[in-house]
DNA sequence: TTGCCATGTGTAACCGGTTCCAGTTTGATT
DNA sequence: AATCAAACTGGAACCGGTTACACATGGCAA
């Protein structure tokens, strides 16, 4: 690989001038032409590592996710990457895979000059984010520290899920979660339980082993069959539940209604199509990236948080017991409303109304 | 952030000694203790950028994918990342999103010192990989250049797909593809068509607009309904086809049988479960990484290619017209057999038999 | 005693850029 | 004509590490 000095020599100028040629400084027209020629002939591309060392900035953002096989996270990564690219940043996807050890290693590596900032959707080792010296924003999770976070209104989503199942005439309800308790899962469950309590309905909780994501929960078929309404904490779990019920000979939604959370692509395509609480994933990615960029520019955003509205996508899996429509119905019951489902599906950028909360003091 | 010089000063030694402390060289016991103490007190972590500049190696591998929302690629990324991590390399996921421009930018950035090697599953701008000076391995695609590639036996897979539909008693067959013609898609189609020709069966081809991945192909419902057997070039397309047929009031597999390709997680969970030609994604990732690592170590592997066996996973969407079993049946008709479905599902590492072909001369 | 090797440490050059500063040339202003 | 600023360029320091080399010291064999 040619270096800046090779170019300089060939063009008959100094390295400093070549550097200015690339970074915008005084360069005379003849010099400029000579450098252009040398660059072309040598196929010179500035070395990004050397540049990063000198600039003390790599223009790289690290995104730490707990899983890459749950489509929610690739969809999030897509949104973050888009927004980063717009601002000339590159995205490095780090899949912690549920291992706190791996996550810690990623954080350390990212902080060691590798990245200018971190967006994380994993909360396994919150303390590790505290003293690393580069900006951190969390999305879909809350870190213990004062790092800004972007989350959906999970609590309202939980309430919506309950009301949806109730409208479908369901009485014996179950919340289906996983062992690692994220703030997101907790909020969803609390909303669901609170709304049930208010309605005087009892709800059971089942913590399924999530070790094999996409698991069919086979060993839990009997358990699931006891209910006629299930709120799965995310869409992947909903798919697993529906599949399990199917294999146990139960019909969804006739015997059991199921509602998920996230509105990943597959929810709309599944047969029966899966009712779910939609998060605006692209907006989450956009907002998180924006916050991070502001922090990288030096702003202090401690305690600045975004809370995004969610929306009920009522599809086939929560049809009423008497049968019901097959069309998706949108119900922005609580929180702010969001853009239309069609727009989301085609990736348009929605600037949904945000609730910005300041829970801590910026200095 | 503390530098190596801060540590050196605090420990009362030179920077070179601290460097040796980290990289293994002669360091006396008392010196070692002093450095350890200083490192701990300062929370020192070596700067990876400076290290990369000096070592002329970043220990980073770039993985370029054409899409991140098709679960095949996250599953591949997972496998590659695992293998990289084992060897002390980090993975950078680059989502070209079908844009040749974006892909080119990624390649250039990766080659500019950012990465030590590239694994690509995109073939949009093959020439761009030619003169970049770092090792390149392609997976699931073939580059024009002599870069080693790891692919599944797509041709045999196409033949299996035909035989599967034929066994299910289907007569009016369709191949469902997308406009961007990858070598993978071509091989699958050719295998399918050749086997059909051999059997004296005519087959139609439909090139669906893939712009919106996960599209329901709504505008094509009439067209799809004309057939009673569809071979979708990948599982995502199969999901789209099944959904479209469902909305058009056609039953799968009663009216139309559908078979996909890849065996992504959702294929097994979908209702009806989707028959598909399984690629051993984890093995593809493992093999590609291994080849790349060998190239990074200096080996010349021009023309060394891996061809991995595929396996028919016969599920519900290709049940016979008279109805049929609901269980998955495995059919390793052509090519080498692979590990059991169960093992795959749980992510065990299979060392499937490989066919290694040498199509060019290493020097 | 001499010589040699293993061990331990510091100095300085280097990786490939960026940027401050100083110096030269040119053109416009007073 | 003298002054000054703008345009242009090179030298050298610096970013934070690694490593070749020189220089100690001490133990052991010849």
Within the 274-313 window of chain B, which residues sit less than 8 Å (CB to CB) from chain A? none
Residues B114 and B198 in one domain: no
> In the structure, what pLDDT confidence band is assigned to residue B333 with cuts at 50, 70 and 90?
low
DSSP one-letter code for A110: I
CB contact under 8 A, A109 and B131: no
Whether B53 and chain A come into contact, CB under 8 Å, resolves to yes
What is the distance in angstroms between the Cα of B198 and the nearest Cα belonging to chain A? 35
Handedness of CA B197, B203, B209, B212 (dihedral sign): negative
Burial of A171 from C-beta contacts in 10 A (0-12 / 13-18 / 19+): exposed
Q: Is the CB of B13 under 7 A from strand C?
A: yes
pLDDT at A341: 30
For residue A8, give the nucleotide whose C1' atom is nearest its CA.
D10
pLDDT at B128: 79
pLDDT at B214: 61
pLDDT at A83: 96
CATH number where A208 lies: 3.40.50.2300
Portion of chain B with pLDDT greater than 90, in percent: 70
pLDDT at A194: 97
Whether A133 and chain B come into contact, CB under 8 Å, resolves to yes
Whether A258 and chain B come into contact, CB under 8 Å, resolves to no
Phi, psi of A344 (to 5 degrees): -60, -45
Using one digit for the tens of pLDDT, what is the confidence trace for B143-199? 888 899 999 999 999 999 999 999 999 999 999 999 888 999 999 999 999 999 999
Across chain B, mean pLDDT equals: 86
* Cα B234 to chain centroid, rounded: 13
Residues A139 and A173 in one domain: no
Q: Is the CB of A15 under 7 A from strand D?
A: yes
Q: Which residues contact B156 (CB under 8 A, 6 or more apart)?
A: B191, B309, B310, B333, B334, B335
Chain B CB contacts of A74 under 8 Å are 68-69, 71, 74
Residue A224 counted as domain residue:
yes
Chain A CB contacts of B271 under 8 Å are 242-243, 246, 270-272
Instruction: Say if residue B287's pLDDT is above 60.
Output: yes
Q: Where are the alpha helices (DSSP H) in chain B?
A: 4-11, 15-23, 29-42, 48-55, 72-86, 100-109, 154-167, 183-198, 221-225, 235-247, 265-269, 281-296, 341-345
- Which nucleotides of strand C are protein-proximal, with an atom < 7 A from a CB? 7-12, 14-20
Residue A145 counted as domain residue:
yes
At A297, list the tokens: 């520019």
Residues A86 and A233 in one domain: no
CB contact under 8 A, B271 and A270: yes
Three-class secondary structure of residue B329 per DSSP: strand
Using one digit for the tens of pLDDT, what is the confidence trace for B60-96? 999 999 999 999 999 999 999 999 999 999 999 999 9
Q: Is the CB of A17 under 7 A from strand D?
A: yes
Instruction: Say if residue B360's pLDDT is above 60.
Output: no
- How many angstroms is C1' of D12 away from CA of A46? 21
Instruction: Say if residue A363's pLDDT is above 90.
Output: no
pLDDT at B350: 33
Over range A249-274, report the average pLDDT.
95
Q: Is the CB of B342 under 7 A from strand C?
A: no
Residue A269 counted as domain residue:
yes
- How many angstroms is C1' of C7 away from CA of A47? 38
Residues A95 and A202 in one domain: no
pLDDT at B323: 47
Point out which residues pair with B331 in neighbouring strands: B312
Residues B141 and B188 in one domain: no
Residues A239 and A203 in one domain: yes
Q: How far apart are the first and last CA of chain B?
A: 46
CA nearest to nucleotide D16 C1': residue: B50
Of A283-297, A346-360, B50-64, the poorest mean pLDDT is in A346-360
- How many angstroms is C1' of D4 away from CA of A187? 69
Residues B166 and B243 in one domain: yes
Phi, psi of A294 (to 5 degrees): -65, -40
Q: Where are the alpha helices (DSSP H) in B48-199?
A: 48-55, 72-86, 100-109, 154-167, 183-198
- Which residue segment(s) compose the domain that A8 sits in? 4-27+38-46
Whether A71 and chain B come into contact, CB under 8 Å, resolves to yes
**Which is more confident, B213 or B218?**
B218
Of A212-221, A242-251, A353-362, the poorest mean pLDDT is in A353-362
- How many angstroms is C1' of C3 away from CA of B184? 69
pLDDT at B175: 97
Q: Is the CB of B25 under 7 A from strand C?
A: yes
Instruction: Say if residue B224's pLDDT is above 50.
Output: yes
Whether B341 and chain A come into contact, CB under 8 Å, resolves to no
Portion of chain B with pLDDT greater than 70, in percent: 85
Residues B339 and B242 in one domain: yes
Residues A215 and A254 in one domain: yes
Residue A363 counted as domain residue:
no
Q: Which of residues 47-106 of B touch strand D (CB under 7 A)?
A: 47, 50-51, 53-55
Using one digit for the tens of pLDDT, what is the confidence trace for A318-348? 987 654 444 566 655 554 433 333 223 222 2
Whether A91 and chain B come into contact, CB under 8 Å, resolves to yes
- CA-nearest residue to A344 within chain B is B212
Residue B193 counted as domain residue:
yes
Whether B111 and chain A come into contact, CB under 8 Å, resolves to yes
Residues A140 and A198 in one domain: no
Query: Of B329, B315, B334, whose CA–CA distance to B187 is shortest?
Result: B334
Residue A51 counted as domain residue:
no
Which range, A80-89, A152-161, B340-349, has the best average confidence (pLDDT)?
A152-161
- How many angstroms is C1' of D23 away from CA of B13? 16
> In the structure, what pLDDT confidence band is assigned to residue A62 with cuts at 50, 70 and 90?
very high
Of A53, A75, A77, nearest to B49 by CB-CB distance is: A53
Over range B312-333, report the average pLDDT.
71
- How many angstroms is C1' of C3 away from CA of B204? 88
Residues B250 and B197 in one domain: yes
Domain total in chain B: 3
Residue indicated by tokens 């991070």: A292
Residues B226 and B347 in one domain: yes
Residue B36 counted as domain residue:
no
């Amino acid at each position: 690989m040619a270096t800046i000095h090779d170019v300089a020599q060939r063009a008959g100028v100094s390295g400093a001038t070549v550097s200015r040629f690339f970074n915008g400084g005084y360069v005379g027209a003849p010099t400029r032409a000579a450098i252009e020629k040398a660059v072309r002939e040598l196929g010179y591309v500035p070395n990004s590592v050397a540049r990063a060392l000198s600039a003390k900035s790599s223009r790289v953002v690290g995104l730490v996710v707990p899983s890459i096989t749950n489509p929610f996270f690739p969809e999030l990564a897509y949104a973050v990457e888009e927004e980063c690219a717009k601002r000339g940043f590159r995205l490095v996807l780090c899949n912690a895979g549920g291992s706190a050890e791996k996550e810690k290693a990623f954080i350390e590596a990212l902080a060691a000059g590798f990245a200018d900032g971190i967006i994380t959707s994993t909360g396994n080792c919150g303390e590790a984010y505290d003293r690393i010296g580069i900006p951190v924003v969390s999305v879909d999770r809350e870190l213990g520290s004062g790092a800004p976070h972007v989350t959906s209104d999970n609590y309202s989503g939980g309430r919506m899920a309950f009301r949806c199942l109730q409208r479908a005439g369901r009485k014996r309800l179950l919340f289906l979660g996983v062992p690692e308790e994220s703030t997101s899962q907790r909020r969803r469950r609390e909303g669901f339980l609170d709304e049930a309590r208010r309605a005087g309905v009892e709800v059971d909780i089942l913590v399924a082993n999530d070790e094999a994501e996409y698991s069919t929960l086979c060993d839990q078929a009997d358990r699931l069959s006891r209910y006629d309404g299930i709120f799965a904490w995310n869409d992947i779990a909903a798919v697993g539940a529906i599949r399990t019920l199917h294999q146990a000979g139960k019909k969804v939604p006739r015997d059991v209604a199921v509602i998920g959370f996230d509105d990943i692509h597959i929810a709309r395509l599944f047969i029966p199509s899966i009712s779910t609480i939609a998060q605006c994933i692209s907006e989450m990615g956009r907002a998180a990236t924006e916050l991070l960029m502001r922090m990288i520019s030096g702003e202090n955003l401690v305690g600045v948080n975004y809370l995004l509205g969610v929306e009920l996508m009522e599809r086939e899996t929560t049809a009423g017991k008497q049968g019901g429509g097959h069309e998706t119905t949108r119900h922005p019951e609580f929180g702010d409303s969001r853009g239309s489902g069609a727009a989301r599906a085609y990736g348009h950028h929605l600037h949904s109304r945000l609730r910005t909360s300041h829970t801590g003091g910026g200095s």
